[in-house]
C-alpha cells in the first residue's frame, strides 16, 4: 500500500511533475509505479513527452504547448485517486543475460570474493541465483538499475571511477547490480561481462530492459560467450 501522506506531487519545472509514491525502496513499489505509467500513457496521449520511472517516483514530462502545469496536475490527481497496483506486474518477462564471469573482464571479482569470505565460484553462484527486478533506467541509455543482490555481495562503489568501462561489463554497487550498455565512465565493481546487446538504436524501444522486467544473469564459459557475440578482450591496465 502507498504510505500515509503519499502520493505527493512535486513541481519539476514548467513541463513536468514528479509523482512521489513511496519514500522507501521495495520491490512491491513496482506494481504501483508501472500501473501509473500505463495510466499516464492513456490519460495524457499526445501531450505526453516522457515518463521516467524510478525506485519510488515517476517523473511525468508533458508538452506545455498542449497542457498547462495546472491541467497536467489535475490529470495526475484524477489518476492517483483511482490508482491500483498493476495485476500483471508479477508476470513481467524474464530476460536472461549470458555472462562470462572472469577477472580478466571483471577485475573486482577476486577482491569482492575476498571481502565476502567466499570463493570466486561462490560469488558467481550467488549473483546468478537471483532473479532481479529492473527498478530504473538512467545514467546512460539502456543502463538498468537492478536489485537486490545477495547481501554477502553488497559492496560500495569504487573510490575512483574508471574513465572507460567496456560495453557489457557487469557490476555491483551497494545492493544493486547492472550491466553497462555502452562504453562509458563508471565506478561499479566489475565481476564479469554479458554478451547481451543492451541498447540498440534499431530495436523498438532501443533498450533491451524495461522498468519492471525480471532479469537473470546466466553464467557461461568463454567459448559460449564469444559465440554469442561477447567481447572477451581483457580490461586494460589503468582503466
Q: Domain with 12 in it: what CATH number?
A: 3.30.1360.40
What is the percentage of the chain residues whose pLDDT exceeds 90? 80
Average pLDDT over residues 143-148: 92
What is the CATH classification number for the domain harbouring 112? 2.40.100.10
Alpha-carbon dihedral sign for residues 97, 183, 137, 199? negative
**Same domain for 196 and 139?**
yes
- Using CA atoms, how far apart are residues 38 and 186, in angstroms rounded to an integer? 32
**239: pLDDT confidence band, cut at 50, 70 and 90?**
very low
What is the percentage of the chain residues whose pLDDT exceeds 70? 99
Q: Select from 58, 90, 122 the last residue of a domain.
A: 90
214 falls within a domain: yes
**Same domain for 216 and 106?**
yes
**43: pLDDT confidence band, cut at 50, 70 and 90?**
very high
Q: Select from 38, 68, 90 the last residue of a domain.
A: 90
Average pLDDT over residues 171-195: 97
235 falls within a domain: no
**Same domain for 146 and 100?**
yes
The pLDDT tens digits for 68-111 are 999 999 999 999 999 999 887 777 789 999 999 999 999 999 99
**2: pLDDT confidence band, cut at 50, 70 and 90?**
confident
Average pLDDT over residues 2-16: 91
Q: What is the largest CA-CA distance in the chain?
A: 58
**Same domain for 103 and 215?**
yes
Count other Cβ atoms within 10 Å, centred on residue 160.
Answer: 7
pLDDT score of 208: 93
Looking at the structure of the chain, the number of domains it has is: 2
**Does residue 120 have a pLDDT over 50?**
yes
pLDDT score of 180: 97
In DSSP terms, 194 is beta-bridged to 99
Tell how far CA 162 is from the center of its chain. 20
User: Do the Cβ atoms of 141 and 199 come closer than 8 Å?
Assistant: yes
**Same domain for 176 and 204?**
yes
Give the range of the structural domain holding residue 61, as residue numbers without chain letter.
Answer: 8-90
**177: pLDDT confidence band, cut at 50, 70 and 90?**
very high
- Using CA atoms, how far apart are residues 209 and 120, in angstroms rounded to an integer? 27
Summary count for the chain: helices (H), strands (E): 5, 13
pLDDT score of 26: 84
**157: pLDDT confidence band, cut at 50, 70 and 90?**
very high
**58: pLDDT confidence band, cut at 50, 70 and 90?**
very high
**6: pLDDT confidence band, cut at 50, 70 and 90?**
confident
Strand, helix or coil at 100? strand
Average pLDDT over residues 179-195: 97
**Same domain for 223 and 128?**
yes
**127: pLDDT confidence band, cut at 50, 70 and 90?**
very high
Nearest to 106 by CA among 118, 124, 119, 93: 124
Which pTM value belongs to this model? 0.84
Amino acid at each position: 500500500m502507498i504510505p500515509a501522506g503519499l502520493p505527493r506531487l512535486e513541481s519539476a519545472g514548467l513541463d513536468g511533475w514528479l509523482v512521489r509514491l513511496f519514500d522507501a525502496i521495495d520491490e512491491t513499489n513496482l506494481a504501483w509505479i508501472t500501473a501509473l505509467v500505463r495510466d499516464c500513457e492513456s490519460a495524457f496521449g499526445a501531450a505526453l513527452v516522457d515518463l521516467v520511472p524510478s525506485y519510488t517516483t515517476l517523473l511525468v514530462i508533458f508538452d506545455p504547448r498542449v497542457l498547462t502545469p495546472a491541467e497536467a496536475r489535475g490529470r495526475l490527481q484524477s489518476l492517483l485517486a483511482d490508482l491500483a497496483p498493476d495485476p500483471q506486474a508479477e508476470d513481467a518477462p524474464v530476460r536472461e543475460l549470458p555472462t562470462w564471469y572472469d577477472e580478466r573482464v571483471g577485475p573486482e571479482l577476486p577482491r569482492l570474493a575476498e571481502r565476502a569470505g567466499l570463493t570466486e565460484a561462490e560469488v558467481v553462484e550467488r549473483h546468478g541465483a537471483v532473479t532481479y527486478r529492473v527498478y530504473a533506467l538512467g545514467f546512460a541509455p539502456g543502463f538498468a538499475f537492478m536489485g537486490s543482490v545477495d547481501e554477502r555481495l553488497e559492496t560500495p562503489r569504487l573510490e575512483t571511477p574508471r574513465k572507460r568501462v567496456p560495453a557489457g561489463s557487469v557490476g555491483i554497487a551497494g545492493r544493486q547490480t547492472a550491466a553497462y550498455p555502452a562504453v562509458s565512465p563508471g565506478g561499479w565493481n566489475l565481476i564479469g561481462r554479458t554478451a547481451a546487446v543492451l541498447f540498440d538504436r534499431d530495436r523498438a524501444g532501443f533498450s533491451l530492459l524495461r522498468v519492471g522486467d525480471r532479469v537473470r544473469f546466466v553464467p557461461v564459459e568463454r567459448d559460449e560467450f564469444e559465440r554469442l557475440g561477447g567481447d572477451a578482450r581483457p580490461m586494460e591496465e589503468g582503466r
